[in-house]
C-alpha cells in the first residue's frame, strides 16, 4: 500500500534500524517504547487489521509469533517473561493500520493491561 508507514519500512523506502528481517517479516524498535525492550514485528505483506486476516495468512501469523520468540531469546528475556500484543482497530489502540506485534519485556507486566 503506497501510503502505509510500515509498508515503507518493510520495503526500505523509509530507513529503519532493523533488528531482524527475513522474506516474510521485519522487526525494529518501537519509537514510543513502553518497556525496556519494546520491538515491533511486522509482516512484509500489507494486512490492515486482524479482521482482514484470512486462513491463507495462518502460516504468516505463526511466523510472527515464532519470530517474537527468537527475538526474546536474543534479548535474554525469554525465560524471565515477555508479552506479545496485537491490537485491532482504534478502540484497542491500533494507530498504524498494518498488522504488527508488540514484543515487550524487561520489566514486570501487570494484569489486566491498560
Dihedral, 69, 72, 77, 79 alpha carbons, nearest 10: 20
Strand-pair partners of 84: 103
Q: How distant, in Å, are the alpha carbons of 17, 18, 43, 44, 96 from that of 87?
A: 23, 21, 15, 18, 10
Class of residue 72 by CB neighbours under 10 A (exposed 0-12, middle 13-18, buried 19+): buried
Q: Can 46 be counted among the known catalytic residues?
A: no
**Rounded Cα gap, residues 37 and 75, in angstroms:** 8
Catalytic residue among 37, 38, 100, 102: 100
Query: Which residues are catalytically annotated?
Result: 100
Amino acid at each position: 500500500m503506497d501510503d502505509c508507514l510500515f509498508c515503507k519500512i518493510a520495503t526500505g523506502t523509509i530507513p529503519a534500524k532493523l533488528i531482524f528481517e527475513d522474506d516474510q517479516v521485519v522487526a525494529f524498535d518501537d519509537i514510543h517504547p513502553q518497556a525496556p525492550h519494546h520491538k515491533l514485528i511486522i509482516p512484509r505483506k500489507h494486512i490492515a487489521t486482524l479482521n482482514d486476516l484470512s486462513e491463507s495468512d495462518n502460516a504468516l501469523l505463526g511466523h510472527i509469533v515464532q519470530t517474537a520468540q527468537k527475538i526474546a531469546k536474543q534479548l535474554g528475556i525469554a525465560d524471565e517473561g515477555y508479552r506479545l500484543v496485537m491490537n485491532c482497530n482504534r478502540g484497542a489502540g491500533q494507530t498504524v493500520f498494518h498488522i504488527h506485534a508488540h514484543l515487550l519485556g524487561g520489566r514486570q507486566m501487570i494484569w489486566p493491561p491498560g
